[in-house]
Amino acid sequence: MSCSRMENRILGYVDGRLRESERLEVEKHLAGCAACRLRVNEFRAVSSLLDELPVIEPSPAFDLRVHARVAAVPVKQSWWTWFPAPRVALAAAVLALATVWVGTRPNNPPQIAQDDIPVLENLDVLSNFDVLTELPQPVQADDGGQTNPQM
Amino acid sequence: MARSDVQLMLDVKAGDEQSFTLLLHRYRTPLVNFLYRMVRSREQAEDLAQEVFLRVYKAREDYVPSAKFTTWLFRIATNLALNSVRDTRYQRMEISLDAPVTVGTEEGEEKTLDVAEKNPNIEQHLVEETRKKMIRHAIEKLPEKQRAAVLLHKYQELDYGEISKILQCSESALKSLLFRAYETLRVELAPLVAQHGK
């Protein structure tokens, strides 16, 4: 392996992230290359120095701020939400159907039985028929409301 | 047994707000640290970390576990950080290189070195703080993409495959990026590297 090919592997070697075959290849090169050995040692030192930086903690109000921002996110409404609740929808549908049914129903006049037609044709004559006025008026029965149709 | 990140995210998708809180607790510290080292401001890092969680929450309904959760999370974080760094680059250039050497704490409170320190413990503390500051500055001086690669590799311990997806480059390009970053750090931190070898 050449020194230039070491460039892509040296950091992986320092961090122990190389596959076994790659590690052995790197070590074989290092055994014969003082410059790369020095670089490995210096990269190890750099890596170790980077470990010295302390970890900072988020401020106590951090969570509150995140939750406040999340709470302010408007709720997405899908098109389903525009539909009313099932019971309201059912009632509306029944009402609509009833309206349509009533609106389309034929508006027929009251039916007159065929047997009644001759009587009606003579209605004027019958209403002015004097003989009928001469008939005795019905008498109220004493036994509590019963009438005598024969008189 | 603790639920996996993917399972928690699927539960969030199903409407379980508690699972979102668990993800928040699991990743708030790594995210804030990653962003802090990217943008160099704690306040800005926390704002960006909140934005990351907000975007995760907003995207919950469309979430499909096609990749590792951390890949998705840190991709959002990296994109936000890179945009933020680019937006504030010119502001950063205004910081004078001649500013007096100071000793900083991680919280951004700084003390100047010209305070006479007679107590050996305090002196030792100052030496350590100076050392940390050198390391932080060395990381900060890296180009943004190299910096992101180092932080994801070193502190988040993500594998090459994940980091290359986050940074949208090939694994080979990533290894080359990391090599150049470590070369720069090796030079920048030469005095400390030399001490380390002794």
Alpha helices in chain B (DSSP H): 5-13, 17-39, 42-58, 69-87, 89-93, 120-140, 144-154, 160-166, 171-188, 190-197
Confidence of residue B66 (pLDDT cuts 50, 70, 90): confident
| Closest to A28 (Cα-Cα) out of A6, A7, A11, A43 | A6
This prediction has a pTM of: 0.70
Q: What is the pLDDT of residues B127-172, one digit of tens each?
A: 888 999 999 999 999 999 999 999 999 999 899 999 999 999 999 9
Task: Domain ranges for chain A, please list them.
Answer: 3-50
A residues 112-151 lying closer than 8 A (beta carbon) to B: none
| DSSP run (H or E) holding B102 | strand B102-104
Contact criterion met (CB < 8 Å) for B135 and A54: no
Pairs of residues, one from chain A and one from chain B, whose beta carbons lie less than 8 Å apart: 106
Mean pLDDT within B50-56? 96
Comparing alpha-carbon positions, the chain B residue that sits nearest to A78 is B61
CATH number, position B40: 1.10.1740.10
Do the domain assignments include residue B3? yes
Contact criterion met (CB < 8 Å) for B182 and A53: no
Taking the CA of residue A17 and the nearest CA in chain B, the distance in Å comes to 9
Do the domain assignments include residue B57? yes
Residue B176 has pLDDT above 80, yes or no: yes
Cα–Cα distance measured from residue B10 to residue B70, given in angstroms and rounded to the nearest whole number: 14
Chain A interface disruption, residue of B137, B175, B177, B187, most A CBs within 10 A: B175
Q: What is the pLDDT of residues A33-73, one digit of tens each?
A: 999 999 999 999 999 999 999 899 999 999 999 999 999 88
Contact list in B for residue A53 (CB cut-off 8 A) is 37, 132, 135-136, 139
Domain extent, residue B73, equals: 1-95
Taking the CA of residue A88 and the nearest CA in chain B, the distance in Å comes to 26
Q: Could you give the number of structural domains in chain B?
A: 1
Do the domain assignments include residue B152? no
* Total residues belonging to chain A: 151
Taking the CA of residue B70 and the nearest CA in chain A, the distance in Å comes to 19
Do the domain assignments include residue B118? no
Do the domain assignments include residue B10? yes
Do the domain assignments include residue B51? yes
Do the domain assignments include residue B63? yes
Contact criterion met (CB < 8 Å) for A53 and B20: no
Say whether residue B39 is in contact with chain A using an 8 A CB cutoff: no
Q: Compute CA B7 distance to the chain's CA centroid, rounded to the nearest angstrom.
A: 26
Contact list in B for residue A57 (CB cut-off 8 A) is 29, 32
Structure tokens at B20: 């979102």
Chain B interface disruption, residue of A15, A22, A50, A78, most B CBs within 10 A: A50
Do the domain assignments include residue B154? no
Give me the interface pTM, i.e. the ipTM: 0.81
